[in-house]
Amino acid sequence: MKRIGIMTGTRAEYGLLKPLMQEINKDNDLELYLIVSGMHLSPEFGMTYKEIEEDGFQINAKVEMLLSSDSPVGISKSIGLGIIGFADEFQRADLDMLILLGDRYEALSAAICAMVMRIPIAHLHGGELTEGAIDEGIRHSITKMSYLHFTSTEEYRRRVIQLGENPERVFCVGAIGVENIKKINLMTKEELERSIHFEIDENTVIVTYHPVTLENNTVEEQFLNLLEVLDRNPKIRMIFTKANADTNGRIVNELIDKYAAQNSERACAIMSLGQKRYLSALKYCRIVIGNSSSGIIEAPSFGKPIINIGDRQKGRICADSVINCGYTQQEIQRAMETALTEEFENKARNCRNPYEKENTAANIISVIKDYLLNDKIKLKKGFYDIK
């Protein structure tokens, strides 16, 4: 039996990885070794490791790495603590492979340790672009430390190959979060309303906004611009989901708390919706607003207009339902007016999600088994030059 490590450091990441964990658990040739870290272990972010346990998964290890600081220095130190913690854990775990998703700094710490300790890495969502965030450099770095690659589109597959990875080890499987939407039993509107203690009507929007981590001291002005536009649209009701543990994330969260408290009749603030509540909220909302990757990747499958603000997701492939706009109040207001038109809502309802493919989780596990059970992994990988 081959032991497969999965590391998760955030609520959103766990929701995406959950189908893979289920696939591993039901496979007689594989054993799941689950490591939680980062925001999952933080009271400030809701101690979301408890949600993982409530879902019936056994957590094999907890790696503390998150300092109570959202400054660049604090996050840099958190990365260092993560390297120390993962080194100790990987020595104990005796993993045959480690699965990492995306571009968070928690994944970077785990990737550095796994590479040095000769644990092959399977990386999901490589080759993507987010030009406004430090995630960009982290994602491509993890790509170079990984052995197997599972991309969400063919364009991203080509970019991983452009980074020197052999095409034989790069697989376009689609976005696992999009596959989740088809399989999960979503809540009714009434169940969701009871769960978040907030009434949802035909003008409810979801707002998820994260700092643009390659910019200096811009997040407060940018987010206040968004709040000002929301104020000008009094019929709009808002479900705010809070920012991750990124540089200046606390600025966003403090502004959300203040705004929700002052506008409690039409706004609510939630630290962690979790996968089921978040996807259910996408089903019943009218518009998705902010700069989260979920707005680009998962939300189009619900046929709703998406307003993507600023540069955080710049470079990602977008569905026709996504309106990209700048940070100013005028740009956000114009995007809002467009999104609320019957013409654009019909366009969003009928658009195709470019991240959707069939059997994403099963195909990932099939490839991993092929490499592990047939002894096909050779860590001395060459650099693939494009002719």
Q: Answer yes or no: is pLDDT of 39 > 90.
A: no
CATH number at 186-349: 3.40.50.2000
Check the CA dihedral 159-160-161-167 and report its sign: negative
> What was the pLDDT predicted at 210?
87
Boundaries of CATH 3.40.50.2000 in the chain?
Answer: 2-174+357-373, 186-349
Gap between the Cα atoms of 382 and 368, Å rounded: 20
Task: Identify which of 165, 178, 142 has the alpha carbon closest to the alpha carbon of residue 7.
Answer: 142
Q: Answer yes or no: is pLDDT of 26 > 80.
A: yes
For 227, the token pair is: 């709040």
Over residues 44-51, mean pLDDT: 86
38 touches 65 (CB < 8 A): yes
Picking from 148-162, 185-199, 230-244, which range would have the lowest pLDDT averaged per residue? Answer: 230-244
300 touches 284 (CB < 8 A): no
SS3 call for 5: strand
Domain covering 2-174+357-373 assigned CATH 3.40.50.970 in the classification = no
> What was the pLDDT predicted at 155?
96
Global pTM reads 0.91
Gap between the Cα atoms of 365 and 357, Å rounded: 15
Confidence bin at 22 (pLDDT 50/70/90): very high
What are the CA-CA distances from residue 162 to residues 144, 155, 260 (Å)? Answer: 11, 11, 45
Over residues 152-170, mean pLDDT: 97
Report which residue type is found at 237: R
